[in-house]
Structure 1
Amino acid sequence: MSASELPRNPGGPLDLDVVRAIRVNKSAAERRSATIPTRRTVKKQWQAAWLLKAITLMDLTTLSGDDTASNVRRLCAKARRPLRDDLIDALGVAELNITVGAVCVYHQWVATAVEALEGSGIPVAAVSTGFPAGLSPFKQRVEEIHESVKAGAKEIDIVITRRHVLTGDWQALYDEVKAFREACGEAHLKAILATGELATLTNVARASWVAMQAGADFIKTSTGKEGTNATLPFSLVMTRQIREYERATGYKVGYKPAGGIRTAKQALEYLMLMKEELGDRWLQPDLFRFGASSLLTDIERQLEHHVTGRYAAAHRHPMP
């Protein structure tokens, strides 16, 4: 089933009884997460295949204060052609036309990215709603979504108000995400929970459930700007809520770990987690994305090692 055929999560009424009943055993979650890097090992051509898959699941991202139009255009060129031609030929994957899952930028650069990606089929994602803190006035955050959609963004990465989670005001969180979903219209909404700032794994699980009940198309760990970003325990908790939500409603919700995922080894660990906890269907870009900027460089280095037997210097795989 393609992304266009997958029914969107419409959300539903907030069920506080379900939310308050959610509990996470921290020790058990951490023990299970610790087994993920040790349970499976992929080598040689199988590792290369998994890493090529990881490229297609990336939201190639630039969220720096010194972004310029030329930087964004170079990022989009990299998104169109993430691997050097000689590696593509050596791996025999030219016919696959490998591209990244999306390009993620601030609102200011949405139109630039849309123009640079025209005809590629690669969507533009905009971080929105007062990213990264989410503390700007509510009307302003909603208007920011409208403007990014108008500029051509097909995906909107919103940030929640953390205090709603920390104070247990689930109704306020639900109302906020629901309003953001309505503002997105046809654009897909990714709800950033800022998991490193939510204090407990139980809070992460409850926030995940509320965001999905409010209609989020994806739930996402982090902005990448927090002290603690994506981790395997956070991801385990969130993916299990996605699994339970599908069982309860029949709707599939996507997952996006972001922040701190820099190596090919880490990417493989997250792919293994998705395969084991949610199944192969969540290894497609309409249901799984990496929020990444430097990850692609390490994956390219690993693929060059597969082809040549040597590790290349990072400058042979430059990012914009």
Structure 2
Amino acid sequence: MLGDVSILTAPLADVASSNATLRAFLHGLPGVDRVGADQRAAMLGTRSIKTTAKAQAIDLAISMVDLTTLEGADTPGKVRALCAKAVRPDPADPTVPKVAAVCVYPDRVADAVHALTGTGVKVASVATAFPSGRASLEVKVADTSSAVAAGADEIDMVIDRGAFLSGDYKKVFEEIAAVKEAAGEAHLKVILETGELATYDNVRRASWLAMLAGADFIKTSTGKVAPAATPAVTLIMLEAVRDYRAMTGRVVGVKPAGGIRTTKDAIRYLVLVNETVGEDWLDPDRFRIGASSLLNDLLMQRQKAATGRYAGPDYFTLD
């Protein structure tokens, strides 16, 4: 089973015909200059922006947040509270934009759907034996189907890193394609877990493999493994979606997740996006930030910019 490869253009039409062809293609991608990638990401992180641009960047970052709760202790009440914050991040200020989505486990999707219907905030669900991915394909597909049946707009799946690292690219491809089919109209974000991929070359290969199999977004991390998102890894993934669009005409989004906690961090990522793939990617449909604690810092910095003072430590809810 290869899944639907109709998205591939003629030069890529036979890439997924076997593990050998996938391997030849992925290992034929240009190698990543690790020092160069680290230096470029660091350099872009030093860019300063003017006060008016910073205010716009903060609102843009808020609109890109996937507000996330992925804990064993998640309850319907906790999810409802998080959804309320997603729709109205600062109850005292209706000008604050809504976040992009709320991300929960499959069994909490119905709670989120009930709270968010009609608000414009998407419901995302992690699936496919998150965060390890250690389950059969049948279980992964059932996990995805359950979340979609409950109303999820987006599915965040994890790849089988063991299969990828052992060179079984065809298995990874087929699993992504099968989950994409099970997701139906829901957008599919494919989590690479870059902290376990060992090399930047592997990050580039996994990015391309996910896109070839039908990913709508490629995502750095589950947030459960260190290191999670880093600017250099995100740079490599942004370069991959840029090059993939140039080759196929298809747009794929990018989502760094895990470890992005401050407004300064978020703005660095926005600069990275702008300088690597351009302004048209500065949109929640093409770039997301997976976070739980980031939103409060964005709200504090937003209030500081507007009033000249920070809110008290108990002003915003802890998530």
Aligned to 1:70: 77
Shift in Å at residue 264 of structure 1?
Answer: 0.2
4+ runs of 1 displaced by more than 3 Å? 9-13
> Aligned pair count?
303
Give the corresponding residue for 2:33: 25
Shift of 1:109: 0.6
Alpha-carbon displacement from aligned partner over 1:142-186 (angstroms, at most 9, x marks no partner)? 101011000000100000000122112211111111111111111
Letter of the aligned partner of 1:308 in structure 2?
T
Output the CA distance in 2 between the equivalents of 1:74 and 1:228: 29
Report the alpha carbon displacement of residue 28 of structure 1 after superposing the two structures with TM: 1.0
Q: 1: CA distance between counterparts of 2:64 and 2:279? A: 13
TM normalised by structure 2 equals 0.92
> Does the CA contact (< 8 Å) of 2:67 and 2:86 recur in 1?
yes
Matched residue of 1:46: which SS?
helix
Aligned residues of 1:78 and 1:319 also touching (Cα < 8 A): no
Q: C-alpha displacement at 1:44, in angstroms?
A: 2.2
TM-score by length of 1: 0.91
Q: CA deviation at 1:137?
A: 2.1
Q: Which residue in the other structure is 1:3 paired with?
A: none
1:10 to 4, 7, 12: 7
2:81 partner amino acid: R
The residue that corresponds to 1:141 in the other structure is 140
**Contact 2:45/2:272 (8 A) holds in 1:** no
| Aligned match of 1:190 | 189
Give the aligned residue type for 1:21.
Answer: G
Q: 1:256 matched to which residue of 2?
A: 255
Query: Contact 1:304–1:310 at 8 Å: present in 2 too?
Result: yes
Amino acid at match of 1:48: A
Alignment of 1:55 with 2:54, yes or no, is: no
Q: What pairs up with 1:74-85 in 2 under 5 angstroms?
A: 74-85=81-92
- How many Å separate the matches in 1 of 2:153 and 2:244? 24
**Distance in 2 between residues matched to 1:161 and 1:202, nearest whole Å:** 17
What SS does the corresponding residue of 2:131 show, helix, strand or coil? Answer: coil
Q: Counterpart of 1:315 in 2: which secondary structure?
A: coil
Q: CA deviation at 1:18?
A: 2.5
1:32 maps to a residue whose letter is R
Equivalent residues of 1:55, 1:99 under 8 A apart: yes
Per the alignment, residue 106 of structure 2 pairs with: 107
1:312 deviates by 2.4
For 2:189 and 2:70, locate their aligned partners in 1 and report how far apart those are by CA, in whole Å: 16
Residues 297 and 314 of structure 1 are in contact (CA less than 8 Å); yes or no, is this contact kept in structure 2? no
Identity %: 48
Partner of 2:158: 159
Query: Which residue of the partner structure matches residue 41 of structure 1?
Result: 48
- Structure 1 partner of 2:3: none
Distance 1:29 1:269 in 2: 15
Whole-angstrom distance in 2 between the partners of 1:225 and 1:10: 32
